[in-house]
Amino acid sequence: MAKRIRRTQHNIHAIRASGCPVPTSAFIDTLDPAQIELWFADGAYRAHRLRSATTRLAALPEDDSTSQPPLS
């Protein structure tokens, strides 16, 4: 994790040094190691939740009541 934090800090430094804003959709805009670690953990948790939801959705039967007719 320490290596990932250092690499993220380096990337943020490089982006800021170039005069560009840090793209918050791709990075957290901080150099605080604790906040960067939380950002990574939050991303992993979000990915787990999405993976779990898509797995459950894929397991639903075709004629489940959550199915909706196609839009016309």
The pLDDT, as a whole number, for residue 15 is 93
The pLDDT, as a whole number, for residue 69 is 67
The pLDDT, as a whole number, for residue 28 is 87
Contact 5, 33 (CB under 8 A): yes
* 3-state SS record for the chain: CHHHHHHHHHHHHHHHHCCCCCCCCCCCCCCCHHHHHHHHHHHHHHHHHHHHHHHHHHCCCCCCCCCCCCCC
CB atoms within 10 A of CB 38: 13
The pLDDT, as a whole number, for residue 49 is 94
Contact 16, 22 (CB under 8 A): yes
Divide the 72 residues of the chain into consecutive groups of 10 and give the mean pLDDT of each group: 92 93 86 92 92 92 67 66
